[in-house]
Amino acid sequence: MSTRRAIPRLAAIAALSLFALSGIASPACAQTVLDPLSLAKYVDPLPIPAAIDATMPGSFLEIGAYQIQQKLHRDLPPTTVYGYGLTEATATYPGPTIVARHNVPIQIRWTNHLPMTHILDYAIDPTIMKAETSTGVPITTHVHGAEVEPQSDGGPMTWFTKDFAETGPDFTNEVHTYVNTQLASTIWYHDHAFGYTRHNVYAGLAGYYLITDPGNEPPGLPEAPYDMGLAFQDRMFTTEGQLWYPNVGVTSVHPKWIPEFFGNVILVNGKVWPYLNVEPRKYRFRMLNGSQARFYSLALMERVRSTPGPAFYQIGTDGGYLAEPVLLNDPANVHSPRLVIAPGERADVVIDFSAYPPGTEFLLRNTAKAPYPMGDAPDGQTTGQVMLFRVVPSTGPDNSVIPPALATVTRLTNPTVTRTMTLNERLLGDDPLGALLNGMPYDAPATEYPVLGTTEMWEIANLTGDTHPIHIHLVQFQLLNRQKLNARRYQMAFDAANPSLPSDTYVPVAVGPYLKGKPTPADANERGWKDTFRMNPGEVTRVLVRWAPQDESPSFAFDATAEPGYVWHCHILEHEENDMMRPFHVVAPGAAMAGGASVNTAPAFTPASVADGAIAFRASNPAVVGSNLRFSLTRAGSVALDLFSVAGQHVATLASGWYAAGDHNVSWTARARSGEPLANGVYVVRFRSDGVERAQKMVLVR
């Protein structure tokens, strides 16, 4: 469908990166982009979104999306944004913080009150797949990090317009149920409508969702008002004070789509470069990267002397508490790790200001390059600054503590299935056309069918020049390790097995022969529960995913195998919608698998789970049309039986899916995937199942 390079360039500078920041042309509406230096910094106090108490059994909320006017900076007129609220009068950007309780279900009826025309209509690209409506702007709300039934997950195809006049093909119910069975954690909600996510979230549709568990959380941590959320986002404005999103793409194929959005103004909780007065005591900050594509590498710096500020003690990740606090930004150690946070990730952090006298000011600085990690450094006068903390006199004693032990984090082990997957680029020459998972578009048939209650290892090879934050719906999982990859050689092998992208099929390529060095364990502050994880270029990232509740219950409190299923995707929103998102379906134990193409052999650093003699495979040789290929399984498992030319090109898939224990025959038709008869000659048959791989040459004669 498009031209793409055969071997990836791992970009050394932003100009060579696939997802480099595109230039900004003059908008068709002839508005002028505001110079960020014209906005005075640290003149507005940090706003704290209102909280909605949903901790009582039987709580029912109706939360709507509204178009509202809100002042985002002292010197700007009110800006038109989208906000969530119980009513239009209470709607805000970001939306209210929903406070729920562990194991106390609630129901929310999300409603749409947006007008017919999107406030960023001039930037919506008609060539990018999206919901087609005639009754207004579609929305659907996804609670990011929630263990939730498929019907209430807010998947991209569950969208609806104002008054539910039009609905997406997966829409089933107006009222969504959230069972809140996951551990105490900081999760969040945001729009997820098909083809509108990047614009709806940019316009303001996002907010915090907190799971609390009184009596079962670490004692002594800072509490309200010293416990608050900090949601980081970057934006651009016109000189009229309105949101601006670029409307000129980098190729004629997608005339308005940009590969990534990087704004020139930083907002926290919906306010441009705000300040927060802090007492000389400990504060708990629930940090959220709600940006489209920007990563943040954060540390405090004393404003006057430019010396390191107080350390961060990270106590939690996306899915709950760490086992123990992790020290970051230690001012006494120049090699101390920083807090790096990708789009979609959260970091629960305690900062102690008690050693600093009133009047001391600290800048929260950002040093992450854009695109991350090989792009341009942030401008020290704009995107290199996030917010200001100003120490003020104390109003009372600080009795809070940072406990040395926070929680028991049970480590996942013994995956029964390993899936080998890829992150791929699509280029037209040097210009980006989009990105893919496993070389497949969103609307291709699902290839991941995890079995309820099992633990899988997902090992994902990043063949692009950027770090991607990958988010898996439904579950919290654990990051195992990362390992360097000979990306050039692996790309060649991938291209041989998958000669056309995008494709409706996927042939996984084992990563073992292309690995470099030893695996690097997850960073100390990544060793908790995660729902979004960073995948670096030129590396294989491995995560352990248990398709069951986080609290080790045997099954979910709902039917996770129901339709419409779930999705996994990159959380850079411009990537997600073109086309870095794929569906998956959880299946019941013993159910027939309709897919499983990403199932591959066990990773090189673990022993095979089946002894060599436990699986038998034999192909006739020489082979004639109509002869059989035979294999035998000692227990049920996933099988992939593929035919290759001697040059390594994938010719045909002979068998793929879940097979019962016993003997099986596969008829040999001697035809390629296209249906054309194969020429006489030598071919290679590759058989893979349950950690074992066999290959056999076969001579075709007619």
Is pLDDT at 315 greater than 80 in this prediction? yes
Q: Whole-angstrom Cα distance, residue 680 to residue 659? A: 30
Cβ count near 395 (within 10 Å): 7
Q: Which domain holds residue 302?
A: 227-391
In a domain? residue 454: yes
Considering Cα of 441, then 442, then 443, then 447, what sign does the dihedral take?
A: positive
**Do 673 and 693 fall within a single domain?**
yes
Segment 349-371, tens digit of pLDDT: 999 999 999 999 999 999 999 99
Q: Whole-angstrom Cα distance, residue 572 to residue 578? A: 10
Amino acid at 480: L
In a domain? residue 397: no
Distance of CA 565 to the CA centre of its chain: 17
Segment 121-154, tens digit of pLDDT: 999 999 999 999 999 999 999 999 999 999 999 9
The predicted pLDDT at position 680 comes to 73
Using 50, 70 and 90 to split pLDDT, how confident is the model at 629? confident
Render 518-547 in DSSP notation, one character per residue: EEEEPPGGGSS-BSEEEE-TTEEEEEEEES
Segment 561-584, tens digit of pLDDT: 999 999 999 999 999 999 999 999
Is pLDDT at 525 greater than 80 in this prediction? yes
Cα angle 602, 569, 106 (rounded to 5 degrees) comes to 110
Cα angle 230, 234, 236 (rounded to 5 degrees) comes to 140
Using 50, 70 and 90 to split pLDDT, how confident is the model at 691? low
Segment 647-663, tens digit of pLDDT: 667 888 888 777 777 77
- Selected residue with higher pLDDT from 51 and 597: 51
Distance of CA 571 to the CA centre of its chain: 4
CATH number of the domain that 679 lies in?
2.60.40.2550
The predicted pLDDT at position 445 comes to 92
Is pLDDT at 167 greater than 80 in this prediction? yes
Instruction: Name the percent of the chain lying above pLDDT 90.
Output: 77
**Do 80 and 187 fall within a single domain?**
yes
3-state secondary structure of 575: helix
Q: Whole-angstrom Cα distance, residue 68 to residue 133? A: 22
Average pLDDT over every residue of 47-55: 98
In a domain? residue 8: no
3-state secondary structure of 27: coil
Is pLDDT at 593 greater than 70 in this prediction? no
The predicted pLDDT at position 166 comes to 98
In a domain? residue 399: no
Q: Whole-angstrom Cα distance, residue 156 to residue 528? A: 28
Q: Which of 600, 632, 665 is the last residue of a domain?
A: 600
The predicted pLDDT at position 537 comes to 98
Q: Which of 212, 238, 268 is the last residue of a domain?
A: 212
Average pLDDT over every residue of 284-306: 98
Residue 163's closest CA among 113, 121, 215? 113
**Do 502 and 572 fall within a single domain?**
yes
pTM, 2 dp: 0.84
- Selected residue with higher pLDDT from 384 and 19: 384
**Do 595 and 632 fall within a single domain?**
no
The predicted pLDDT at position 630 comes to 72
The predicted pLDDT at position 701 comes to 58
Cβ count near 454 (within 10 Å): 17
Number of folded domains that form the chain: 4
- The two structure tokens encoding residue 38: 């014209």
Average pLDDT over every residue of 316-327: 98
Using 50, 70 and 90 to split pLDDT, how confident is the model at 668? low
In a domain? residue 593: yes
**Do 204 and 258 fall within a single domain?**
no
- Per the listing, tokens 């040093």 go with 367
**Do 259 and 145 fall within a single domain?**
no
The predicted pLDDT at position 659 comes to 73
Segment 445-501, tens digit of pLDDT: 999 999 999 999 999 999 999 999 999 999 999 999 999 999 999 999 999 999 999
In a domain? residue 566: yes
**Do 298 and 380 fall within a single domain?**
yes
Using 50, 70 and 90 to split pLDDT, how confident is the model at 622? low
Considering Cα of 169, then 249, then 236, then 467, what sign does the dihedral take?
A: positive
Segment 426-452, tens digit of pLDDT: 988 888 999 999 999 999 999 999 999
**Do 188 and 306 fall within a single domain?**
no
Using 50, 70 and 90 to split pLDDT, how confident is the model at 633? confident
Say if residues 637 and 619 touch (Cβ distance below 8 Å): no
- Selected residue with higher pLDDT from 642 and 495: 495
The predicted pLDDT at position 10 comes to 30
**Do 87 and 151 fall within a single domain?**
yes
**Do 290 and 428 fall within a single domain?**
no
Range among 26-30, 560-564, 679-683 with highest mean pLDDT value: 560-564
Q: Whole-angstrom Cα distance, residue 397 to residue 399? A: 6
Say if residues 10 and 465 touch (Cβ distance below 8 Å): yes
Instruction: Name the percent of the chain lying above pLDDT 70.
Output: 88
**Do 626 and 670 fall within a single domain?**
yes
Is pLDDT at 179 greater than 50 in this prediction? yes
Range from 31-45, 240-254, 685-699 carrying the lowest mean pLDDT: 685-699
In a domain? residue 661: yes
Q: Which of 570, 600, 630 is the last residue of a domain?
A: 600
CB burial readout 656-682, b (16+ within 10 A) else e: bbbbeeeebebebebeeeeeeebeeee
In a domain? residue 543: yes
CATH number of the domain that 443 lies in?
2.60.40.420
Is pLDDT at 616 greater than 80 in this prediction? no
**Do 155 and 279 fall within a single domain?**
no
Is pLDDT at 165 greater than 50 in this prediction? yes
